[in-house]
Amino acid sequence: MILTSSCSNSPRTVETSNGKDGWLKGTDSEKFDVVANQLRGFDMAMVETSYRYQELYWAGQDENWEYALYQLEKIRKTIENGLERRPKRAESAQRFLDVSIPEMEIAINAKDTTFFYESFDLFTNACNNCHAQEQVPFFTIKPPLSRLSPVRK
């Protein structure tokens, strides 16, 4: 049952408040804009990607292949969601999604540390290739030097 659009005493032009202490104000349309703004754009997708990229690296060192696969899947998800919010980035991301992630997945499934780290270097190059294409080459990605993660094997 659809309750949203046709209720005559709450047309979309009426201003109301939602959320704790009514922080979400305005018409329905204005509230969607506020929520969209809070969801952010590609930057937050990249902050999450960066964290998961580091976790992927250490998962390889621990030979924790299940954790590695988990992190790779979440990188895919966060980039896909980021592209939904910022479709102008999609063209540059295509090769990363279609080639780099599947190749990294093959390396994880091989459960071979040497192969994993060779592939991880290619994966890192793919991050930097997209940064170059998107005119943000100053985000130079290199494998992490020290571990911050509490997830260890």
Q: Which residues form the interface with ligand HEC (CB under 6 A)?
A: 41-43, 46-47, 49-50, 53, 75, 89, 92-93, 96, 127, 130-131, 134, 136, 139, 141
Residue 26 or residue 143: which is nearer to ligand HEC going by CB?
143
b/e map of 122-141 (b: 16 or more CB within 10 Å)?
A: ebbebbeebbeeeeeeeeeb
Taking the complex as a whole, the smallest distance from the CB of residue 15 to ligand HEC amounts, in Å, to: 31
Cα 138 to Cα 45: distance, rounded to the nearest angstrom: 17
Sign (positive or negative) of CA dihedral 59, 61, 62, 65: positive
Query: Which amino acid makes up residue 140?
Result: T
Cα 120 to Cα 70: distance, rounded to the nearest angstrom: 15
Encoded tokens for 7: 């209720």
Residue 53 or residue 67: which is nearer to ligand HEC going by CB?
53
Taking the complex as a whole, the smallest distance from the CB of residue 81 to ligand HEC amounts, in Å, to: 12
Residue 27 or residue 133: which is nearer to ligand HEC going by CB?
133
Residue 19 or residue 41: which is nearer to ligand HEC going by CB?
41
Taking the complex as a whole, the smallest distance from the CB of residue 28 to ligand HEC amounts, in Å, to: 27
